[in-house]
Amino acid sequence: MWHDNDFTRRLGLRYPIVQGPFGGGLSSIDLMVAVSEAGGLGSFGAHHLAPEKLGELAQQIRARTQQPFALNLWVSNQDPGGDRLTSEQFAAAIERFRPYYDALGMAPPPMPKRYGQRFEDQVQAMLDARPPVMSCVFGIPSADILSECRRLGIATMGTITTIDEAIAMDQAGVDVIVATGFEAGGHRVSFLRSAEESLTGTLALIPQVVDRVSTPVIAAGGIADGRGVAAALTLGAQGVQIGTAFLACDESGTNELHRRMLFTDDAKYTALTRAFSGRLARGIRNRFVEEWEGVTPLPYPIQNWFTGTFKATAAAQGRGDMISLWAGQGAPLLKHRRARELFDALVAEAGALLR
C-alpha cells in the first residue's frame, strides 16, 4: 500500500501525512489531535513557550490522544545581537514602531526582561516531557541531545532547505529529514547558508535529497492537495508535511482574519520578507511587508517581539495590513476548512492517483 513504508512504520502512523508545526501561537491542540487521530502526525510549534510550559503541553495533548504527535523547537532561536537592547536602542526601536501603535490606539510597551526563549533550556524540558517525536528547525541538535532522544525512545525529525543541509542532517543521525522547498509558507529554516541563498524549489529538492541520504525524507512546500502528496511520493519522499492547508482549518490557532485571507485572491501574491520576525518567511503581501522593503529589521527575536506586541490588537481590529499572514504558494488550491475533511481528501486523492 502507498502509505506503508519505513517512515510510517517507524513513527507508528497509518498515513504519511505530517501537519506542519506552526510557531508563535498558531499551533493548537485541537488541530494536532484531529490530524493524529486521523492517522497522520499532528505537530505543535513550541519554540515560543517557556520550558515549564512544555511539560504541561505534553500532558494536555496526551489527555486528548494516544496517537503519535510531534513537538517542535528551533535549534537556533537567536540571531547575533538578538538577546538584548540598551535603553537607548529600545527607545529608538519604539519610535520606529510608533506609527503602528498610534494607528491601533495602543500605548508602546515597556522594555521586557527578555525577548525570547533559550533552546538549551527548552530542550531539557522537552526530553523530560518525552513526546513521541521531537522535530527541529534552524539547525541540528547536538550529538548528546540526539543520543538522549534515542535512549528515551523519542523519534527525531530535522528540517533542511538544501542538499548540503540534508547530508549534514543525515550524518548527524536524525530519524527523519523534512526537505522543504521555497514554496512553503512561514519561515525559511536554513542553517548552513543564508535563507536567501537557500531557495530551492520542492520539485528539484526532493529527488536530489532522496538520492543522497539514507534517512526517510518528508517533502514540504507547495503541497496542498492529493496531487501534491502523490507527486512527492513519486519523487521518492516517504511522506509529506503540509502547513498552509492545515493552518486554514478552523481548528488551527490562527485568527479568523488570517484564515479568511487564505481563501481570497490576496493569497495568490506571497512574498519572502524579514519584516515581521527578523528572519525570512513567506506570507501574503500587505502594507507592513511593503513598508519594510529595503529596511534592515532588528535581529530575531527582537523584531519578532516588537511586531508581536501589536499583531493581536491589529487582528482584533480587522487590520490585515498589519499582521503576518503566513501562506505558502499552494494557498490558491485550498478548499477545506475542517481538518478531518482535509485529511480525508488528501488520503482519497493521493490513493486514487497512486493506485
Question: Contacts from 260-267 at CB under 8 Å and sequence distance 24+?
Answer: 261/320, 261/325, 261/327, 262/325, 262/327, 262/331, 262/334, 263/334, 266/325, 267/327, 267/331, 267/332, 267/334
Cα dihedral sign, 31-32-38-41: positive
Neighbours of 312 (CB within 10 A): 12
* Res 343: pLDDT: 98
Grid cell for residue 57: 503541553
* 300 in Cβ contact with 23 (< 8 Å): no
Tell me the pLDDT band of 355, cut-offs 50, 70 and 90.
confident
Query: Does the pLDDT at position 56 exceed 90?
Result: yes
- The pTM of the full predicted model, rounded to 2 decimals, is 0.97
What gap in Å lies between CA 99 and CA 271, rounded to an integer? 23
Mean pLDDT of the chain: 97
* Res 25: pLDDT: 85
Percent of the chain surpassing pLDDT 70 = 100
* Res 222: pLDDT: 97
CA distances from 4 to 51, 218, 270, 325, 352 (A): 35, 14, 35, 35, 15
Percent of the chain surpassing pLDDT 90 = 99
Residue 218 amino acid letter = I
Nearest in space to 313 (alpha carbons), one of 44, 84, 61, 104: 104
* 248 in Cβ contact with 259 (< 8 Å): yes
What mean pLDDT is predicted for residues 135-161?
98
Nearest in space to 220 (alpha carbons), one of 170, 159, 305: 159
* 279 in Cβ contact with 307 (< 8 Å): no
What mean pLDDT is predicted for residues 242-271?
97
DSSP 170-233: HHHT-SEEEEE-TT-SEE----SS-GGG----HHHHHHHHHTT-SS-EEEESS--SHHHHHHHH
Query: Does the pLDDT at position 23 exceed 90?
Result: no
* 308 in Cβ contact with 23 (< 8 Å): no
Beginning with the edge strand found earlier in the chain, give each strand of the sheet holding 69-74 in spatial order: 17-19, 239-242, 217-220, 176-180, 155-160, 133-137, 69-74, 42-45
Query: Does the pLDDT at position 101 exceed 90?
Result: yes
Nearest in space to 79 (alpha carbons), one of 318, 296, 256, 261: 296
Q: Tens digit of pLDDT for each residue in 180-204?
A: 999 999 999 999 999 999 999 999 9
Tell me the pLDDT band of 95, cut-offs 50, 70 and 90.
very high
What mean pLDDT is predicted for residues 76-81?
95
What gap in Å lies between CA 51 and CA 112, rounded to an integer? 18
Q: Tens digit of pLDDT for each residue in 211-224?
A: 999 999 999 999 99
Tell me the pLDDT band of 2, cut-offs 50, 70 and 90.
very high
What mean pLDDT is predicted for residues 133-159?
98
Neighbours of 27 (CB within 10 A): 28
What gap in Å lies between CA 2 and CA 285, rounded to an integer? 37
